Structure 1
Amino acid sequence: MDYQPYIRNLNIESLNEMQLAVIDAAESNSDIIVMSNTGSGKTLAFLLPLVAKLNPDVKGTQALIISPSRELALQIEDVFKRMGTGNKITCCYGGHKREIEENNLIEAPTVIVGTPGRLGDHLRRGNIKTGNIHFLVLDEFDKTLELGFQEEVGYVVGEIPNISQRILTSATQGVSIPAFLNMQSTQLLDFVKPDEDENKTIFEYVKSEDPDKIETLVKLLSYIGNRSTIIFCNHRDAVERTSELLKEKGIITGFYHGAMEQRDREQSISKFRNGTYNFLVTTDLAARGLDIPNVRYIIHYHLPDTEQTYTHRNGRTARMDKSGNVTIVLGPNEKLPGFIEPDIKLLEISGNYPIPDKPKWGTLFIGAGKKDKVNKIDIVGFLSKKGMLKPEDIGVIEVKDFYAFAAVRKNLISGVLATIKGEKVKGKKVNIEIAR
C-alpha cells in the first residue's frame, strides 16, 4: 500500500524505524505488541496498517481503538482525519453528551476510537455493531489497565466476535497481557530506549524546610522563570489548592485533572500550549497521552508513588531531541524513593529571584468549531479583518468540534472584543469571549 499521501498530509518527511517495523509486522496478520518511548510516533504506527486493512467493499465499522483517556482519543481522531483517508471516524468519550455520539453512530463509521467506559455504554445500548470489526488497537494499554478499566475493556473486547488482528502499544516494558485479549502468534516489537532521555535531561532535587513546600515551589519557579513547566501533584484537590496558592503569590498558573468538565480540560491544555500561562499544575492524568510540545521543566511537587509514574511524568520533557529538566521538591520528612537516579544532584537556589513576568498571551473562546465548518484559516481571517490584528498578534489556534481557542496578545484582547462585537464568523453570529 502507498502510505505516502497520508504521510505528506501530516507534513512528515519519512517514517521512523519503529513505524516501519509495525507496518511490516502487520502484514503478517499476527498480533503485535509495540513498546516504544513516549513521543516516538506510535499513533501513526498503528493507524497506517489499520488503514491498509480497511475493505472499501465492506459497510459498517471495521476497526476499534481503545484509549485510556479522552484527550488521547481525540488526538488519535485528529491524526486520522488529517491523514485524509476518506474514511469516517467517530470519537466516543465521557464528559460530553452521549446523544452527539449516537447521532454519529447511526451511519456506522469505518473506525471508532474511544475510552472503555463510553464504548461499553454504546455497546450495551446497541449503538455499535461489531460484526465487521476485525482490527483492534489498545493504545497505551498498560495505562488503561492501570486506571482500573480492565473489567470494562474485557467487556468491550468480549463483544467483538471476529477480531483477526490486535495491536497493543505502550511506553512501559514488562506489562502483563490479560488473558481476555486472546493474543495469538504475537510479535513483540521493543523499541524502548531507557537511556535515551538521560542524555538530554538534567535530574535535580531541592530541599524544603517547610512540610508545606509551597514557598520552596515559588522560589523554584522564580528561579526557572517563564519556561514551560508541568507541576505534578498526587491528588485532584491538591492540584487546585496548589494552583490557587501560586496565584496568590503572583504566579500565573493553570490546572488540569480528571474531575474537570471536558471543555474546561481542553481550555486549560490549550492555554498552556499557547503560552497564556507557562505553569500547569496537574495530576498524573497529564503524564501521558497529551501532545504538549516544548515542555522544559517537570516538577515533582508530590513524590511519585511508583517508578512507572516517575518515568511517565518525566516523559513530558526532553521530547523530539529537545533537552529538559526534572526537579523533585523534597520536604523535611521525605526521602527520595529508591527508583530515583542515584546520581541525582542537589539544586541549591541562592539569592532572590523576581516572580516570573505575567505571560504576554491571552486566549479567546470562540463558540464555533469543526461541526460549524469553521477552521483555523477562517479564524485567522476573522481576527485579521474584523479584529484589525496583525499576524504577529495572533498566536496558536485550536479548533474543536463545537468551539475554538485563539491566542491573542493580552494587551490587545479588550480592544479586539470591542471591535468584533456583533460581527459574524462565516456568516454566523457566535459567542466570543475571554477564555476563563
Structure 2
Amino acid sequence: MQDHAYPIQKILDNLKIKALNEMQQAALDAGTRPGDVILLSATGSGKTLAFLLPVLQGLDAAKRTTQALIVVPSRELAQQIEQVFRSMGTGLKITACYGGHLRETEENNLVEPPALIVGTPGRLCDHIRRENITVDTITTLVLDEYDKTLELGFEEEMEFLVRSLQVVDKRILTSATRAPELQGFVGLNEPVTLDFLPEEALPVEKLAIKMVRSDERDKIDTLFALLCHLGNRPSIIFCNHRDAVERTSKLLAERGIINTFYHGGMEQQQRDSALCKFRNGTVSFLVTTDLAARGLDIPNIRYIIHYHLPDTEASYTHRNGRTARMNATGTAILILGPEEAMPEYITEEAEEIIPGDELRLPDTPQWITLFIAAGKKDKVNKVDIVGFLSHVGGLKKEDIGLIEVKDSFSFVAIRRSKATHTLHVIKNEKIKNKKVMIAVAK
C-alpha cells in the first residue's frame, strides 16, 4: 500500500475494516491524482469511505482553514458522513450543517474553521451568504448522490453554492445510478469516470423480486396480511407521499402492527427517534417516503415493500438499495392494485406471494427505546448512560441495547420486559449530578 499523508491501514484499523474493496481502491487512486472524478457504484458498496479517503489525503493539518466541502441531499446522510469521518481517527475537525437544528450551534462550530464541512444545499448556502464559511480556501468539492443534489428543487441553491467556490481544483461526484447530463455550472474538467455499477440494479442472487396482488385500490388489508405472513424481520415500507406515510402507519398500528414512520416534514428529534427505534429493534417496520431511499446505512434490512409503486426507475433502484447491502441478501416486494402492473423497467420474473388466510401478528419486538433529555452538550456519553442504567436502574449488560447520543438528547434501547420497573427506579435519580427527563421515546 503506497505512502499517504494519513496512513490508510491505520484508518482502516480504526474503522475495523480489513481492506479496501476494488471500487474504494480505484477511487483512492483516482482521487489522489490531479483531475475530477465521477464515481458510480451501487448503494451499500462503501462510497462514503471511497471519497473520504482521497479528500483526507488532500487536507493539510497545518492550515487552520476549511479546505473541503461535501454536499449531500439529506441531513441523515450528512450525519452519517460526519460519524464515519470522526471514526477515522484523524484528529481533524469536521462540522455538519443541515436544517432541523439550531443554526447558532453550527455558527459556533464554524468560528474556528473545520478542515472539512459536510451539509445540505440550503443550509450551506445560508452560511455562505452570512459569511460563516470562508469559501476562498476550499479547494475540494464533493457532491455525494449528485443525481439528487442537482435535480429540480436544489438547482438554484446548487448553482449559487458551486459558483461561490472560486478556487476549487478537485471535484468528486458520486451516485448509485447513471445520472443524466450534468449542468454546466458544476464545472467538471475532463473527469475520470469510475463505473462500478452492475449491468442490473442488483445481482439477482442477492436481491429477490416478489409481488403480491391487492383486490382493492386501498392496499392496507393486503399490506397487513403481507406483514403477518413475513413476520417481524426488519422491513421498510415505501409510500409516495407524506400523508400516506402517516395514514398507513396509523392504520397498521390500529391493527396491532408495531411500527414507526419517517418523512421530511417531521421535526429533527422525531426523525432521529424514528430511525433509532428502527435501528435498535424497537420496531421492525419503518413506513416512509423516498427520503429513506438514500444515505441511510441501516444493516440487516430484510424486506423492501413498495406499498406505492415508485415514480421512476431511479427511485426503485435507490429504495431497493436499502437491502442486499455489501454481502447480504434481501427481497423487494411490490404490492400491485387491481389496475396496476409491474413497471416496464423490472424485467426479471417476480414470484407472487399469496398470504394465507390465518393471520398471526408478528412477534412483539424485545426492545423498547428510552428518550433521555441530555446529550453531548451536557457532557453525557454512552459510558455514562450504561453506568446509570446498570448501577441505578439495575439492568444487566445484556438488557441494554443500542445507544445513540445526540447534541441535546439521547436514545437507549432496553429490554421491553424490564422497562416498567426500570423507569420506576430511575424516576427521581440524576445522571452526572443532573436530573433529566427520561421517558419512553415517542
TM range (shorter): over 0.9
Matched AA of 1:86: G
Structure 1 unmatched ranges of 5 or more:
none
Once the two structures are superposed, residues 190-244 of structure 1 have per-residue CA deviations (whole angstroms, 9 ceiling, x without a partner) of 1112444321222111111111111111000000011101000000000000000
Choose which of 232, 246, 251 in structure 2 pairs with 1:240.
246
Q: How does 1:52-63 map to 2 (within 5 A)?
A: 52-63=57-68
Q: Secondary structure at the match of 1:408?
A: strand
CA apart distance, 1:17: 0.9
Q: Which residue of 2 aligns with 1:73?
A: 78
Moved more, 317-326 or 372-381: 372-381
Alignment: residue pair count: 436
The CA RMSD over aligned residues, in Å, is: 1.3
2:351 partner amino acid: K
What displacement does 1:27 show?
A: 2.2
- Name the counterpart of 2:96: 91
Contact 2:32 2:57 in 1 (8 A): no
1:344 matches 2:350: yes
The question of whether the paired residues in 1 share the 8 Å contact of 2:234 and 2:303 is answered with yes
1:161 pairs with one of 157, 162, 166: 166
- 1:337 Cα deviation from its structure 2 partner: 1.5
Letter in 2 for 1:77: E
Indicate the residue corresponding to 1:105 in structure 2.
110
Q: Distance in 2 between matches of 1:160 and 1:51?
A: 19
Give me the whole-angstrom Cα distance separating, in 2, the residues matched to 1:9 and 1:401.
Answer: 23
> Matches of 2:28 and 2:147 in 1, distance apart?
22
Deviation (angstroms), 1:147: 5.7
- 1:287 equivalent in structure 2: 293
Deviation of 1:274 after TM superposition, in Å, equals 0.7
Residue 154 of structure 2 corresponds to 149
Q: What secondary structure, in the 3-state scheme, does the structure 2 residue paired with 1:146 have?
A: coil
Structure 1 residue 103 displacement after superposition: 1.1
Structure 2 residue identity aligned to 1:237: D
Q: In structure 2, which of residues 21, 25, 28 is the aligned counterpart of residue 20 of structure 1?
A: 25
Aligned position for 2:185: 180
| Kept after mapping to 2: 8 A contact 1:197/1:318 | no
Given the alignment, which residue of 331, 356, 375 partners 2:381?
375
**Deviates most, 142-151 or 45-54:** 142-151
SS of alignment partner, residue 188 of structure 1: strand
2: CA distance, partners of 1:422 / 1:131: 52
In structure 2, what is the Cα distance between the partners aligned to 1:194 and 1:366? 46
Alpha-carbon distance in structure 2 between the residues aligned to 1:270 and 1:147? 30
In the alignment, structure 1 residue 395 sits paired with structure 2 residue 401: yes
Q: What CA deviation, in whole Å up to 9, does each residue of 1:48-101 have, x standing for no partner?
A: 111111112322111101010000000001111111111111110001111111
Match for residue 263 of structure 2 among 254, 257, 282: 257
**DSSP 3-state at the match of 2:276:** helix
1:345 shift after superposition: 2.0
Taking every aligned residue pair, what percent have the same amino acid on both sides? 57
The amino acid of 1:205's aligned partner reads: M
- What SS class does the counterpart of residue 251 from structure 1 fall into? coil
Deviation string 1:135-183 (CA, Å, 9 cap, x unpaired) is 1111111121236212111111111110010100100014322211111
Runs (4 or more) in structure 1 with deviation over 6 Å come to none
Is the 2:229–2:356 Cα contact (8 Å) retained in structure 1? Answer: no
Rate the CA distance shift 1:33–1:71 in 2: closer, same or farther, 3 A: same
Which of 129, 133, 142 is the matching residue for 2:138?
A: 133
| 1:47 and 2:52 are equivalent in the alignment | yes
Aligned mates of 2:272, 2:62 — CA distance in 1: 37
* 1:87-141 CA-partner distances (Å, limit 9, x unpaired): 1111100011111111111111111110000000111111111111101111111
Match of 1:268 in 2: 274
Structure 1 residue matching 2:136: 3-state secondary structure? coil
Residues 303-326 of structure 1: CA deviation (Å, up to 9, x unaligned): 111111111111111112111111
User: What residue identity is the alignment partner of 1:328?
Assistant: L
The residue type equivalent to 1:307 in the other structure is E
Which sections of structure 2, spanning at least 5 residues, go unmatched? none
Displacement of 1:422: 2.7
CA distance in 2 between partners of 1:415 and 1:345 (Å): 46
Q: What is the aligned counterpart of 2:212 among 201, 206, 216?
A: 206
Find out whether 1:227 has 2:233 as its counterpart: yes
Residue 427 (structure 1) shift = 3.1
Code of the residue aligned with 1:17 in structure 2: it is E
Q: Residue type of the partner of 2:254?
A: E
TM-score of the two chains, using structure 2 as the length reference? 0.96
The residue type equivalent to 1:260 in the other structure is M
Q: How many angstroms does 1:359 deviate by?
A: 1.5
- Residue 340 of structure 1 aligns to which amino acid in structure 2? I
Offset at residue 26 of structure 1 (A): 1.7
State yes or no: 1:31 paired with 2:36. Answer: yes
Q: CA deviation at 1:419?
A: 1.3
Asked if structure 2 preserves the Cα contact closer than 8 Å seen for 1:380 and 1:394, the reply is yes
Paired letter, 1:160 = L
Match of residue 194, structure 2, among 189, 195, 201: 189
